[in-house]
């Protein structure tokens, strides 16, 4: 946004115009602002997840007499930890490949970047597939059956939605790179995409602990 | 940058600041979908004013209903919807958008010497969510408006009419808008200040917006979670709050107040900022305790996240938590008291000109202090057991929200109106308007304190006949207040038609927005000035260099001016 | 079912070790960078490595305390 404003703009400024570094300075400054804004946005997303996590913890510890809760006189089963552990590794692995993709881009290693980007997107989609399998096999009474299902499906559903958006975000970035939107000095979109992807991974760390290990 | 005087710290962001983008020419890009922070600010103001009038009418329906013990005007269920919508609209669609969206947008970038906010397009989107959300909110009247109060406590809100779903959507949307604005403002204040404007040289209104931003984007997002859960529980039957299905109504109260208590400060800290601008200007004195006022805003903002449960003393929450919440709540009185004393010390010995903004600022100090004192009563657990859910609470919250937030909005509106419109308003009418609102307000809400202490419950459409005298007194006074509010809009229209030209700096103020023409040109500052000191040192030369006379600030040639002289 | 869960645990164990090691290596590579994005990346990579430890605990059956399903 701000970049294009600066590029369109003429200026009545009082410094020496159009020196070689000028464009670069503007890029750095706008990148800095957008990065700050993006990190703050991720912070608000943390708060959104925290609200639902608080709800889950509160319902589990302060309201439910036993956990998993009783439904019709039977206690619900726990979730399948082993499968979720594999799925977690898939997602965390995509975080690492994304990091390597960005590093490759920074060093102008185009082929390497493409490889890792493809891996990231595949692993991300794989995680979503795993989630779908998990949803089909979770025997906890569905989304609206009880508070366990409500917290589990709402939180992991929100997370899954974030992963889903993230996959498309990465695909869009990949298309942009092939169109030459970024070079190895100016790639804020890729930075933002990587941060978002790491963020999604880390939310999963918390959810994995809360639902499968606690 | 050009050569600055020795010792001027150049800010790190001047290359971006220095760029001016061309003004759009089409009407739609200029006035409807504008990215100019000044236009967006005025759009917020107009939209907020419309919602203010609607919510004010709802309030007058409430007061008219209470003229007789058995309810005069509407059926009890309609009454429930009316007070619920009055509260929701006033909080989310009037006070918060006006204090942050309107004044924050119009004034803050000017005060830091920026050409716009950091993300102008985000600003545009954030604004346009606001009227759409407002229309959704009020359209709930068509399908049965929410009737569980603005707090929408489950399980009543779970049984509420379909409009409650629209309420959830509308408040969620305005929350998103608020979050966007918060992030935008924080980045703007952190990154786009003029060269030399260190944090402790920022005007106090900017400090107030700065302290408000984290509240906007942290607390509001938490509310978003609570609202989303309420929505999916109502629509899809997902149990979160329903005690019959393992949920907990207390969960909603915790989540709601975790937002809504900080929201109280979203609704007052920018008001503090306005008062801190108005008082030194009209007392012709440096603000007393600049740093104390600035830092106390931040202290209030931080503390506000740890006091939410003081709204829940009678809710059946665990008793051992009550004492810490009571103590932390009372601690907030310290930074607030610091501000009150600093403002009074600013007025002390000043050559006060009692223009309308100054009257409102003084009125604000009186009514807000009074509201703060009754807040102290409510924070005390034993007293709260007696007062909770009575008209004492209604009186308290109107003393802080009307006597605090709306009074400061009036002060700000009169103060910056010449900057926005380029014209002066009618001072005599302004003073009459102040006294109508001030007297009407106090006569409306003071009696409610003792009605509450006597035990009159809030949110009930009828009452014991023994309460009638003070209810009639309050209702009649509220009509005076309503007329005063209408007079305000007449004054603005009159000023727009017949007002004298204001000139750049009619009040002789010293912050940057007064150094340029009224209304400011599209690009704000032809040259971004450099800032040498905090702006409140009346009697010293202006602390700016590099202002361009072509900006319109002709009477204050920056390098060798004495302090500016009021022209009105 | 039991044997399938056993295979899953082995896959999780190996995967967590591999991903965890690469996460720590990446973290080490980022360690001396100072931009805002670098700081956030460090935090997030660190938490991700912690996530790998959680997966290991699950694979060894240490968590959840009642044993996995």
Which of B502, B518, B535 lies at the terminal end of a domain, its last residue? Answer: B502
Residue B558: inside a domain: no
Identify the pLDDT of residue B549: 64
Give the per-residue pLDDT at C12: 93
At residue C66, does pLDDT exceed 70?
no
The predicted structure's pLDDT at residue B429:
97
Containing H/E element for B544? strand B544-545
ipTM comes to 0.91
**Are B260 and B282 in the same domain?**
no
Residue B332 shares a structural domain with residue B212? no
The closest CB to that of C68, out of A36, A42, A82, belongs to A82
| Residue that wins the pLDDT comparison between A170 and B319 | A170
Residues from chain A contacting residue B179 (CB–CB below 8 Å)? 44
Q: What is residue B248's predicted lDDT score, i.e. its pLDDT? A: 94
B344 within 8 A of B364, measured Cβ to Cβ? no
**With an 8 Å Cβ cutoff, is B320 touching chain A?**
no
Q: Are A37 and B217 an interchain contact pair (Cβ–Cβ within 8 Å)?
A: no
The reply to whether B183 and B162 lie within a common domain is yes
CA A134 to chain C, closest CA, distance in angstroms equals 13
Q: Which residues of C touch A36 (CB under 8 A)?
A: 36
CB contact under 8 A, A202 and C57: no
Residue B21 Cα, gap to closest chain A Cα (Å)? 4
Range in A17-21, A197-201, B292-296, C40-44 with the lowest mean pLDDT: A17-21
Burial (Cβ within 10 Å: 0-12, 13-18, ≥19) of residue C2: exposed
Residue given tokens 């006035």 in the structure block: B31
Q: In this structure, is residue A4 part of a structural domain? A: no
Query: Is residue C69 predicted with pLDDT exceeding 80?
Result: no
**A10 part of a folded domain:** no
- pLDDT value at residue B156: 93
Task: Indicate whether A126 belongs to any domain.
Answer: yes
Q: Is B375 in the same domain as B310?
A: yes
Residue-range definition of the domain harbouring residue A61: 27-213
Interface contact flag, C15 A209, Cβ < 8 Å:
no
The nearest alpha carbon in chain A to C29 belongs to A103
Of A26, A32, A58, the CB nearest to B191: A32
Domain for residue A70, yes or no? yes
User: What value, to the nearest 5°, has the Cα angle with vertex B85 and ends B80 and B89?
Assistant: 160
Q: Minimal CA–CA distance to A139: which of A89, A187, A193, A68?
A: A68
Task: Give domain status of residue B132, yes or no.
Answer: yes
Residue B316 backbone class (left: φ over 0; alpha: ψ -120 to 50; beta: rest): left
Decide if B101 is inside a domain.
Answer: yes
Q: What CATH number is attached to the domain comprising A92?
A: 1.20.120.80
Residue B258 lies in a domain: yes
As a whole number of angstroms, the distance between CA B109 and CA B117 comes to: 6
Tens place of pLDDT for every residue, chain B, 568 residues?
334 444 444 444 455 666 677 788 888 888 999 999 999 999 999 999 999 999 999 999 999 999 999 998 999 999 999 999 999 999 999 999 999 999 999 999 999 999 999 999 999 999 999 999 999 999 999 999 999 999 999 999 999 999 999 999 999 999 999 999 999 999 999 999 998 999 999 999 999 999 999 999 999 999 999 999 999 999 999 999 999 999 999 999 999 999 889 988 999 999 999 999 999 999 999 999 999 999 999 999 999 998 999 999 998 888 888 999 999 999 999 999 999 999 999 999 999 999 999 999 999 999 999 999 999 999 999 999 999 999 999 999 999 999 999 999 999 999 999 999 999 999 999 999 999 999 999 999 999 999 999 999 999 999 999 999 999 999 999 999 999 999 999 999 999 999 999 989 999 999 999 999 999 999 898 888 899 999 999 988 899 988 876 565 544 444 434 456 676 6
The verdict on residue B552 lying in a domain is no
Answer yes or no: is pLDDT of A188 > 90.
yes
Report pLDDT digits (tens) over B215-272.
999 999 999 999 999 999 999 999 999 999 999 999 999 999 998 899 889 999 999 9
> Residue B560 domain-assigned?
no
Do B185 and B228 lie in a common domain? yes
- Classify residue A3: in a domain, yes or no: no
Give the confidence band of C1 by pLDDT, cuts at 50, 70, 90: very low
User: What total number of domains does chain B contain?
Assistant: 2
**CA-based nearest residue in chain C for residue A101:** C26
Cross-strand pairs, B501: B423
Q: Which range marks the domain in which residue B202 is found?
A: 34-267
Q: Which domain-ending residue is among B502, B530, B548?
A: B502
Domain with residue B374: its CATH number is: 1.20.210.10
Q: What is the pLDDT of residue B34?
A: 93
Whole-Å CA distances, B349 to B289, B343, B565: 15, 12, 19
For residue A204, list chain C residues with Cβ-Cβ distance below 8 A: 51
B182 and B321 in a common domain: no
Long-range contacts of A184-187 (CB under 8 A, 24+ apart): A184/A105, A184/A106, A184/A107, A184/A108, A186/A27, A186/A31, A187/A105, A187/A106
How many Å from the N-terminal Cα to the C-terminal Cα in chain C? Answer: 10
User: Do both B232 and B281 map to the same domain?
Assistant: no
| C24 touching A (Cβ < 8 Å) | no
10 Å CB burial of residue B530 (0-12, 13-18, 19+) is: buried
Residues B302 and B434 in one domain: yes
Q: Are residues B202 and B333 in the same domain?
A: no
Q: Note whether residue A192 is domain-resident.
A: yes
Residue ranges of B 171-200 with Cβ closer than 8 A to chain A: 179, 183-184, 186-187, 190-192
Query: Tens of pLDDT along A196-208?
Result: 999 999 999 999 9
Task: Please indicate, yes or no, if residue B543 is contained in any of the structural domains.
Answer: no
Residue B313 lies in a domain: yes
Pairwise CA distance, residues B385 & B316, whole Å: 11
Q: What is the pLDDT of residue B412?
A: 97
User: Do residues B237 and B304 share a domain?
Assistant: no
Say how many domains are in chain A.
Answer: 1
Q: What percent of chain A has pLDDT over 90?
A: 72
Task: Answer yes or no: do B351 and B313 share one domain.
Answer: yes
Cβ distance of C45 and A80 shorter than 8 Å:
no
- Do B288 and B231 reside in the same domain of the chain? no
| Residue that terminates a domain, selected from B502, B521, B553 | B502
Whether residue A17 lies inside any domain: the answer is: no
Residue A13: inside a domain:
no
């Amino acid at each position: 946004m701000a970049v294009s404003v600066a590029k369109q703009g003429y200026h009545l400024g009082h410094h020496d115009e159009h020196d070689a570094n000028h464009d670069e300075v503007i890029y750095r400054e706008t990148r800095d602002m957008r990065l700050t804004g993006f990190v703050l946005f991720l912070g608000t997303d943390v708060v959104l997840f925290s609200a639902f996590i608080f709800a889950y913890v509160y319902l589990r510890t302060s309201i439910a007499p036993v956990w998993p809760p009783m439904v019709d006189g039977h206690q619900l089963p726990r979730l399948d930890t082993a499968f979720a552990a594999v799925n977690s590794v898939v997602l965390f692995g995509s975080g690492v490949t994304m990091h390597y993709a960005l590093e490759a881009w920074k060093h102008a290693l185009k082929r390497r970047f493409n490889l890792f980007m493809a891996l990231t997107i595949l692993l991300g989609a794989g995680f979503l597939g795993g989630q779908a399998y998990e949803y089909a096999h979770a025997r906890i009474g569905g989304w609206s059956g009880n508070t366990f299902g409500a917290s589990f499906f709402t939180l992991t559903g929100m997370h899954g939605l974030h992963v889903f958006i993230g996959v498309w975000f990465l695909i869009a970035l990949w298309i942009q790179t092939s169109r030459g939107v970024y070079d190895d000095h100016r790639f804020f979109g890729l930075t933002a995409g990587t941060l978002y992807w790491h963020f999604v991974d880390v939310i999963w760390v918390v959810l994995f602990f809360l639902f499968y290990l606690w | 940058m050009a050569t600055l005087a020795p010792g001027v710290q150049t800010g790190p962001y001047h290359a971006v600041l220095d760029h001016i983008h061309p003004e759009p020419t089409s009407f739609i890009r200029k006035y409807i979908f504008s990215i100019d922070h000044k236009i967006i600010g005025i759009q917020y103001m107009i939209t907020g004013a419309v919602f203010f009038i609607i919510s004010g009418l709802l309030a007058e329906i409430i007061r008219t209903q209470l003229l007789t013990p058995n309810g005069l005007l509407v059926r009890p269920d309609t009454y429930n919807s009316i007070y619920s919508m009055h509260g929701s609209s006033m909080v989310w669609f009037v006070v918060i958008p006006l204090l942050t969206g309107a004044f924050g947008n119009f004034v803050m970038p000017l005060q830091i010497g920026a050409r716009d906010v950091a993300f102008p397009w985000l600003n545009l989107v954030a604004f346009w969510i606001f009227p759409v959300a407002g229309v959704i909110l009020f359209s709930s009247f068509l399908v049965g408006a929410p009737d569980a109060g603005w707090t929408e406590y489950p399980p009543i809100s779970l049984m509420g009419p379909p409009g409650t779903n629209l309420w959830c959507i509308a408040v969620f949307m305005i929350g998103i808008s608020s979050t966007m604005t918060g992030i935008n403002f924080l980045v703007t204040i952190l990154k786009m200040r003029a060269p030399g404007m260190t944090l402790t040289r920022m005007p106090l209104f900017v400090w107030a917006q700065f302290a408000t931003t984290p509240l906007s984007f942290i607390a509001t997002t938490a509310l978003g979670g609570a609202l989303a859960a309420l929505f999916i529980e109502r629509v899809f039957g997902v149990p979160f709050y329903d005690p019959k299905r393992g949920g907990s109504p207390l969960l909603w109260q915790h989540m709601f107040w975790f937002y809504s208590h900080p929201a109280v400060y979203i609704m007052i800290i920018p008001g503090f900022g306005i008062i801190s601008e108005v008082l030194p200007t009209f007392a012709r004195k440096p603000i007393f305790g600049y740093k104390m006022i600035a830092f106390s805003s931040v202290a209030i903002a931080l503390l506000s996240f740890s006091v939410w449960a003081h709204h829940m003393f009678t809710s059946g929450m665990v008793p051992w938590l009550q004492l810490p919440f009571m103590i932390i709540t009372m601690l907030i009185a310290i930074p607030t008291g610091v501000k009150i004393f600093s403002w009074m010390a600013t007025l002390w010995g000043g050559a006060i000109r009692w223009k309308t903004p100054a009257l409102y600022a003084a009125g604000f100090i009186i009514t807000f202090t009074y509201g703060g004192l009754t807040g102290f009563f409510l924070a005390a657990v034993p007293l709260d057991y007696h007062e909770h859910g009575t008209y004492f609470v209604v009186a308290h919250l109107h003393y802080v929200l009307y006597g605090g937030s709306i009074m400061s909005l009036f002060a700000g509106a009169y103060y910056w109106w010449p900057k926005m419109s380029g014209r002066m308003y009618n001072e005599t009418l302004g003073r009459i308007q102040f006294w109508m609102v001030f007297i009407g307000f106090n006569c409306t809400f003071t009696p409610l304190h003792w009605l509450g202490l006597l035990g009159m419950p809030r949110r009930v459409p009828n009452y014991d006949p023994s309460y009638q005298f003070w209810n009639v007194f309050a209702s009649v006074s509220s009509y005076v207040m309503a007329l005063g509010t209408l007079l305000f809009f007449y004054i603005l229209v009159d000023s727009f038609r017949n007002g004298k030209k204001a000139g750049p700096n009619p009040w002789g103020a010293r912050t940057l927005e007064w150094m340029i023409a009224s209304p400011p040109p599209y690009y704000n500052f032809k040259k971004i000035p450099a800032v040498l000191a905090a702006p409140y040192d009346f009697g010293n030369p202006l602390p700016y260099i590099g202002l361009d006379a072509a900006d319109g600030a002709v009477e204050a040639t920056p390098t060798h001016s004495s302090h500016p002289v009021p022209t009105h | 079912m039991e044997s399938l869960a056993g295979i899953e645990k082995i896959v999780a164990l190996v995967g967590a070790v591999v991903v965890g090691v690469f996460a720590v290596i990446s973290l080490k590579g980022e360690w001396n960078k100072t931009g805002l994005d670098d700081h956030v990346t460090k935090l997030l990579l660190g938490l991700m490595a912690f996530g790998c430890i959680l997966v290991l605990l699950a694979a060894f059956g240490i968590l959840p305390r009642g044993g996995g399903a």
